[in-house]
Each structure stands twice: as structure tokens, then as C-alpha cells.
Amino acid sequence: MFDQLPFLLILLALPLVALVGIIAGGPAKSLALIASLGSFGIALISAIVWQQQGDSSLGAFEYQVLSKPEITLALGLPDAMSVILVLLTTIVTLAAIMASRCPEGRERLWFSSILLISVGALGAFLSTDLFFFYAFHELALIPTFLMIGMLGKGDRKEAAWKITLYLAFGSIVLLAGLLWLVGASGSSSLLFSELLASPIDPAAQKGIAALLLIGFGTLVSLFPFHSWAAPAYASAPTPIAMLHAGVLKKFGLYGLFRLYPMVSEGLKPWLTLLIILLLANILWVGFVTLNQKRLDGMLANSSVMHMGYIFLAFAALIAAESTIANPLALPAATLLMFGHGISIALLFALSDQIEGKTGTLTMANLGGLGKSTPALCFLFGLAGMASIGLPGLANFAGEAAVFLSGFKNWTYTEPLGPVQIATIIAIFGVVISAIYMLRAIRQIFQGSPVSITENVADLTLKEKAPALLLSLALLAVGIYPNLLLQLFQRQTVQPSPVLVESASPATSETALLINESR
């Protein structure tokens, strides 16, 4: 019975209905909380049912908007990556609403913006039509810009303009690439299933791939199109930073993996350049992160840095030429996207608590906070350890799988290829992460208390709730990665060849290798 309901439409409708209620004058936080709880419940149930059935038609909804060109509001769970990112979106949305410290009198704008960003992210990950895939993401950017400019902190107006200009550039380049892709495919429909069944001339693929890498890369903050991200996250209201860094940034990575089968040949000439850029994300931005004096700036730059690891999995996929040749790349990238999304959202939420209790995020002005706030210290330490890849937490499983995907099918009798060399260099990024995160924990929580940290109250139960939700997700996936990896094993009927090919072998092999690496 459940699989016959258009529950994916309900999943989108819940936050929209709550948004309308908030605009009409209803209790903003209560409506947002109820809607986010409902969405999380549906997403969790859908993941469980999808794992059991592995059916891409589960809860699907289609409504044709235009016939020429054929544009359809089509919602579905076409692959395991979509299921996992929808689950990530609902978890972070719920935590962002629970963790909100809304300025008095701005409740309607605050919570409606959170819900609108969530709707945009959910719509993008659920859309099986290229038009709505793009349109939902653009919808989510509007409240992001407004919230940073109106309710942000620091140089919020400069940060709002910077993120607007950069992401507008990325969106325009991406749109050009998508239009070229549709034209080269010759398909009259924008459904992914139709587009993926329409081969593209390899001569055209190279140009299309370049536009997709620039467009999606800018949205993900791939070097050198990354400089918008750190000031935007540092200036953004905490729920917006949680949602954009934790969820919305994954749109570009999701799009690259989703469209990979259509431009796989065109991506090969750009592999070396992509490797150079992703290493710049890991190393260049990593050293920039080391130099940060404020906690919010450090977290913002660390988020940009860690995108390089997910691009490394994509580079491994390009080098292998198919997911049959490298069945680890897709599950590895997805696992790390989930781990990063949860951990960075938790770190931003706890950073907001530190600022609210002490009035500053300048690390040199803090110290000894752990003595008066042991719960805050423990939760921040847990999130920090996840961020640097401590075994037993979700990020470790993702990073280990990414590194293993870089060496898939390589033997010691062969010379190292570009991806293997990049993987070895990228491992040094783990050391950089450990340095800046452990230093931050020492400066903020250890040592003797200073005047502003002597009598700080610890987290209340209400303040702990969102952190505990996110911590539980980190621990569950970290201890048992197969919670997510088994979704790939159940993929059976999918529209995307890249995801079909990786279905069965990926799960058991990835889980086995991760367990061995422990």
C-alpha cells in the first residue's frame, strides 16, 4: 500500500504547507518543526522500504507541465544516492530548525527561509526531470542570498553579494551546459531516463563536460571557484550555513555523478586538470584553514577543503571509465557526502552555541570552556573527530572508501597512475585536518578558563537535542556503514547506467574493505 502512495509529493508538500501557514501568521517554529519531523519520518520510511524493494518507481509522481518541449514534474527515488541525500536533507533540516536562535520579530522570514531551502534541496534530489532538477536548486538559492544579506553577521552584505555573483555565474554556465547536452542528445523529453538513453557524439561531449565541471564545480566550491563559500558560511545565520554547507552544496556532486554516463568520454580529457584542482581544494584550502583565527572561518574553509575528497572519487570513476571497472567510487562519494553533511552541520550548530554563550568565536580569546560546559565540549569533540576521519564515525567510512576507490584495480606491478598519485597526496590532507581541528579544540576547551568562559552555562536539554540527533547519525553510519551501503545492493530498476552498474558489487566490497581498514 505504501508504495502506491505519491508520498514523495507529500514529502515536498509538507514544508510548503508549513511555509504557507507561517506566511499567513501561524506559529512559525512549531509549524516548521512539525513539517520537518513529518518529512524526516517519510524519508526514513522510504529509505527502509526502498532498501527492501530496490524499486525506482516507489512513491513516484509525474505531472506533465509542457508537451513541447516535454517538461514533467517528475519525482522519484531513482538510485541509492538520491535516497541517501534525501535522508541527509531531512535530518539536517530538522536539526537546523531545532538549533535555531531566531532574532526576535523575524520568525516568519527565518523559518520560511529554512523550509524553502529544504524544499529546493529535496526537489533537486527527487526530480527525475532535468528542468525541475535545475529549477529546484535555483529556488533554494534565493532565501540563501536573502538570509545572509539581511540576517547574517560580520560583512554580511559583501558576503551576500559575493555568493550571489559566484553562484549566478555557476548557474549560468551550468544552464548552458545542460542546454547543450539536451540539444546534442536529440531527445524531445527532459526526463533523465530519456536523456540517458540518447547517446551524445563524443566530439560534443568534451565541451559539454567542461561546462558541467565549471558550473557544478562553482556550486560545489571547486578550486579556483571556491572563494565565495568561506565568507558566506561565516556570515550566514547558523541554520543557513548548516543547510547550504551540509546539504545544498552536494547538488553539484550529485549532478556530476548523475550525468556522468552522458559525457563519460568528454570527461577523460579533463581528468588531469580535475585532479590538480581537487588537490588544490585539499592542500591549498587546507593551509588556508590552518591560518584561520575565528572558529566560524575555520569551519567554513574546512568544508571547502573536504569537497576535494569527494571529487577524488569522481576522478577515480572517470579514470576507470565505468562503474563496473570501479564499483567503489559512487558508494564512497555518497558515504562521504552524508558524513560530511552531518558533521559540518553539527559543527556549525555547536559553534553558534559557543558564540551565544561567550559572545565571541575568536579562538585566542577563548579557553578552558570545557570545565564549565562538559556536554558542549564532548559533542564538539565528537563532531571534530568525525571531521578529521576518526574510525567509528561516518566520515572515516567515507574517506577510507574514497582512498580505496583511488587504488581500485591497481596492482603493485604497475606504475602509479594520476589518480593513485593524487590519492597518496590527498592523504596528507588528513594530517592538515587533524592539526587545525585539534588545535581549535585545545584553544577553546582546554587550559585555564578566561573571564568570558568562567561561568558559562552548559547546554540545556533543548540545546542538546539537535546535536544528539546529528551525533547519532554520525555514530550509526560510522559503526555500521552498511546501513547506507546496502541501499546500493538493492538497486534493481534505475534509469541511470552509472548507478545500475555499481549496484551489486559496490556494497559488499566497499563494506568489506572499510572493515578491513579498521
In this predicted model, what pLDDT tens digit does every residue of 20-29 receive, in sequence order?
Answer: 999 888 888 8
Whether 339 has a pLDDT exceeding 70, the answer reads yes
> pLDDT over 90 for what percent of the chain?
49
Q: Name the most confidently modeled range: 5-9, 183-187, 464-468.
A: 464-468
Residue 452 pLDDT: 86
The enclosing H or E element of 188 equals: none
pTM of the model: 0.89
| Per-residue pLDDT tens over the stretch 132-158 | 999 999 999 889 888 898 888 878 888
Task: Please give the average per-residue pLDDT across 116-132, as a whole number.
Answer: 91
Q: What is the pLDDT of residues 72-119, one digit of tens each?
A: 888 888 888 999 999 999 999 999 999 888 888 888 889 999 999 999
How far apart CA 217 and CA 213 sit, in angstroms, is 5
pLDDT score for 490 = 63
**How confident is the model at residue 343, as a pLDDT?**
94
Under a CB-based contact definition with an 8 Å cutoff, are residues 302 and 436 in contact? yes
What is the pLDDT at residue 511? Answer: 52
Q: Which residue range forms the structural domain that includes residue 232?
A: 2-517
How does pLDDT run across 30-47, given as a tens digit for each residue?
999 999 999 999 888 888
Closest Cα partner for 252 from 315, 171, 331, 190? 171
Total domains present in the chain: 1
Q: Is the pLDDT of residue 359 over 60?
A: yes
The 10s digit of each residue's pLDDT in 310-333 is 999 999 998 886 555 678 889 999
Which segments of 126-281 are extended strands (E)? none
Instruction: Report the pLDDT value the prediction gives residue 45, as an integer from 0 to 100.
Output: 86
Average pLDDT over residues 184-199: 83
For residue 55, the cross-strand partners are: 493
DSSP structure string for 79-104: SHHHHHHHHHHHHHHHHHHHT--PPT
Residue that the C-alpha cell 520579530 belongs to: 105
Query: Cell 578529521, residue?
Result: 388
Residues in a beta bridge with 127 = 75
Buried b (16+ CB within 10 A) or exposed e, 329-351: bbbbbbbbbbbbbbbbbbbbbbb
Q: Across residues 493-505, what is the average pLDDT?
A: 43
Burial class of residue 391 (count of CB atoms within 10 Å of its CB; 0-12, 13-18, 19+): middle
**Could you tell me the end-to-end alpha-carbon distance of the chain, in angstroms, rounded to an integer?**
41
On the question of pLDDT at 162 being above 60, the answer is yes
**pLDDT score for 500:** 43
Q: 485 falls in which pLDDT band (50, 70, 90)?
A: confident
Question: Rounded distance, CA 486 to CA 482, Å?
Answer: 5
At 189, the pLDDT band (50, 70, 90 cuts) reads confident
